[in-house]
């Protein structure tokens, strides 16, 4: 009841200031003509009056003892709220550290297979899921072994066929080389035959021409007739011998041609046979690889399925292992692997209790602060800021 009677007295000056502010602003807007110097002085005087009024309010509150009470309540509220926020943040950090340690505790307890009757049900569930993981892992391992055996079989088949194919290709290269040589010999022989035929024709033409000249010379009365006939007869004898040689050479060369042509044909046939054998082997290779590839593809799908199952079980196991940490922490079963984590958790829990108690004390102290006095202090500050800003704007002529 006492506080309710004091509040109207305390806020009366402030209400007067807030009531006067709109009128001051109205007066300023009515005298905002730059040529009206009296309006400028009104703005300055209004700004000074506002500052003096606020200063008078502060002095009044100080004299009646309210300012110190409000300041103490406001500063205590700010300090306690700051401490409360800081402690809240520290508690969150400690809770995160505690959660991480509990997760690690559950992980290590499960790795060391530390059991206790207090969490037997959760432990048995972990064993069940781990058994599913182990079973799926063993199955996947057997599938991978089968896959590796099939891959070796496939490799052996490929090597066996490749060896035969390479042997045939090597023979094919030799036959192809021999065939090219035989074709070259046939072309060379045909060239020689053409040359022999051309030479035979040339000799026949020369013999005919020489005989004609001999006949003409025998009919002439040339003084050198005897000598010229002798020369022409000698030339005719030589040409006749050459013609005979050319005539005899042509059949000999022609006789060699069928043999070379038959050899080239045989080599060409052998080359085609080798190519056919290679293609047949390549077809047989594909036929033998097809079922192996089908089996390998099926095994690969099964391996992927088992891998997916293992991943699913592992995803189920992970949160269960982390949840185990809180139960292990409550039971505290003896285990050398967990002793260090117990100590770390005790330190964290001690800090959590200390910070929580401190936060409760701060919250209690914050609840004991006079909220009305605190609100009055911050309200007075807000009014002061508004008046100072308004006064500055009036004094500088902005409004």
Nearest to 261, CA basis, from 189, 322, 328: 189
Locate 398 and state its tokens.
Answer: 């902005």
317 Cβ contact list (under 8 Å, min separation 6): 126, 129, 130, 133
Rounded CA gap, 234 and 179, in Å?
A: 48
Query: What per-residue confidence (pLDDT) applies to 17?
Result: 46
What confidence score (pLDDT) does residue 79 get? 81
Q: What is the pTM of this model?
A: 0.54
Rg (alpha carbons) of the chain, rounded to whole number: 60
Q: What dihedral angle (degrees, nearest 10) is formed by the CA atoms of 62, 63, 68, 70?
A: -70
* Cβ(357)–Cβ(87) below 8 Å: no
pLDDT of residue 225: 65
Query: Which pLDDT score is estimated for 360?
Result: 83
User: What pLDDT does 1 receive?
Assistant: 33
pLDDT the model gives residue 63: 81
Residue of 188, 202, 203, 201 whose CA lies nearest to 256: 188
Residues 275/278/284/289 CA torsion (nearest 10 deg): -130
Per-residue pLDDT of the chain (399 residues; tens, 9 = 90+): 333 334 434 444 444 444 444 444 444 444 444 445 666 777 778 778 877 877 877 787 788 878 777 877 777 788 878 888 888 888 899 889 989 999 999 999 998 999 899 989 999 999 999 999 999 999 999 999 999 999 999 999 999 999 999 999 999 999 999 889 888 888 887 777 777 777 777 777 777 777 777 777 766 766 776 677 677 667 767 777 766 766 666 777 677 778 888 888 888 899 999 999 999 999 999 999 999 999 999 999 999 999 999 999 999 999 999 888 889 989 899 888 888 998 999 898 888 888 888 888 777 777 777 777 778 777 878 888 888 888 788 777 666
pLDDT at 399 (0 to 100): 63
What sections of 64-119 are H helices per DSSP?
Answer: 66-111
* pLDDT value for 146: 95
Q: Tokens 């050899």 sit at which residue? A: 263
Predicted confidence at residue 248, as pLDDT, reads 67
Provide the terminal-to-terminal Cα distance of the chain, rounded to the nearest Å. 43
The pLDDT assigned to 37 comes to: 61
């Amino acid at each position: 009841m006492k506080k309710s009677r004091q509040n109207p007295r305390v806020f009366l000056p402030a209400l007067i200031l807030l009531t006067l502010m709109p009128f001051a602003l109205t007066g300023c807007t009515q005298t905002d003509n730059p040529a009206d110097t009296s309006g400028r002085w009104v703005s300055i005087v209004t700004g000074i009056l506002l500052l003096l009024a606020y200063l008078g309010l502060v002095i009044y509150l100080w004299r009646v003892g309210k300012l110190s009470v409000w300041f103490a309540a406001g500063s205590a509220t700010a300090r306690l709220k700051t401490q409360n926020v800081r402690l809240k943040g520290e508690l969150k950090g400690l809770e995160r550290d505690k959660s991480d340690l509990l997760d690690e505790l559950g992980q290590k307890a499960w790795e060391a297979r530390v059991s206790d009757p207090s969490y037997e049900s959760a432990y048995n569930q972990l064993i069940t899921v781990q058994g599913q993981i182990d079973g799926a892992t063993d199955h996947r391992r057997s599938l991978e072994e089968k896959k590796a055996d099939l891959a070796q079989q496939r490799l052996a088949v490929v090597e066996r066929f490749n060896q035969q194919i390479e042997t045939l290709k090597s023979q094919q290269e030799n036959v192809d080389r021999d065939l090219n040589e035989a074709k070259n010999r046939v072309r060379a022989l045909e060239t020689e035959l053409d040359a022999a035929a051309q030479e035979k024709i040339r000799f026949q033409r020369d013999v005919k021409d020489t005989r004609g000249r001999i006949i003409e010379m025998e009919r002439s009365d040339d003084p050198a007739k005897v000598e010229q006939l002798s020369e022409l007869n000698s030339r005719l004898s030589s040409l006749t011998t050459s013609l005979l040689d050319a005539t005899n050479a042509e059949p000999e060369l022609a006789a060699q041609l069928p043999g070379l042509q038959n050899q080239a044909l045989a080599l060409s046939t052998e080359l085609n046979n080798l190519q056919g054998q290679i293609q047949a082997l390549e077809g047989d290779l594909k036929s033998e690889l097809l079922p192996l590839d089908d089996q390998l593809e099926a095994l690969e799908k099964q391996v992927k399925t088992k891998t997916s199952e293992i991943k699913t079980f592992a995803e189920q196991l992970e949160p269960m292992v982390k949840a185990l940490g809180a139960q292990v922490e409550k039971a505290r079963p003896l285990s050398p692997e967990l002793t260090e984590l117990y100590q770390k958790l005790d330190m964290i829990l001690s800090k959590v209790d200390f910070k929580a108690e401190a936060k409760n004390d701060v919250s209690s102290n914050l609840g004991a602060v006079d909220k009305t006095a605190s609100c009055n202090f911050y309200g007075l500050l807000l009014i002061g800021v508004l008046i100072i800003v308004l006064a500055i704007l009036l004094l500088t002529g902005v409004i």
